[in-house]
Amino acid sequence: MPVDSEHAVSVSLNPVLQAAETGASVFSSMGGEGAVLRVLGVPGNSTDTFATMGYDAALEQCPDITVAGEVTGTFEPGTAQAETLNFLSSNPTPVTGVVQSGTMGVGVLQAFLDSGRDPVPIADIGATQGFISWAIQNPEYPYTGSVSPATRMGDVYANVGIRMLNGDGPKVNQMVTAAQILDSENIGELGDDSWEITDQTLFDGEPEAFFPEEHLDELFTN
């Protein structure tokens, strides 16, 4: 996110790239055609806006994919589950893929299971342990998602603050890194199939992938 003051520093993953990568994976799993459902968080919220920008960038490359509709899940898996289930029940338009703005993937998954339909490819941005576990147990499912390692994020923010207080820089006031992308190939090594599908705990993946120490070193003068 842009920072307008030279006295402030932003530290974040790249949310537009994150959505573009997971969206592209979903659209590829759809075979480049079909209809996708958008599950928004809170329209107008920056997280929602950046996710939409990334998905739109990927969608522009897929002229044979249409948008079946939109629902709002308020970044809550339970709300996303209810709203998605309602859409599936009341709209005749077939849904062959889903993109969501963050942390609601497991709710969308449960909506498909509740409806009796086979889950379609879902962009699991802000992956949860419940979805990861289900995907490991169903290896034929074309899983794609990304990691939001909350504990590691806190550690990095503290690390940046301490470096600044020590007079070590920084060289720039916008520090951006790529999110760790998950797929059917790496979740088996990183996840656990014993987690319950209802487990909404954010999945840590490989926490050190978020601003590795050597990456931070390059952003400071000392």
Structural domain count of the chain? 1
Residue 162 located in a structural domain: yes
Residue 7 lies in a domain: no
Q: Which long-range contacts (CB under 8 A, 24 or more apart) does 85-92 make?
A: 85/111, 85/114, 85/115, 87/37, 88/112, 88/115, 88/117, 89/115
Give mean pLDDT, residues 185-209.
94
The encoded tokens of residue 202 equal 């954010």
User: Could you read off the pLDDT of 121-161 as tens digits, one per residue?
Assistant: 999 999 999 999 999 999 999 999 999 888 999 999 999 99
Tell me: pLDDT of 56 over 70: yes
In this structure, what CATH number is given to the domain that contains residue 32?
Answer: 3.40.50.2300
Is 1 among the domain residues? Answer: no
Q: Does residue 124 sit within a domain? A: yes
Helix (H, G, I), strand (E, B) or coil at 88: helix
Strands 10-13 and 34-40 turn out to be: unpaired
Show Cβ contacts of residue 146 under 8 Å, excluding neighbours closer than 6 positions: 18, 21, 22, 124, 125, 126, 127, 179, 180, 181, 182
Residue 4: inside a domain = no
Residue 6 lies in a domain: no
Q: What pLDDT digit, counting tens, does each position of 71-117 carry? A: 999 999 999 999 999 999 998 889 999 999 999 999 999 999 999 99
Q: Look up the domain containing 114 and give its range.
A: 12-218
Q: Read off the pTM.
A: 0.93
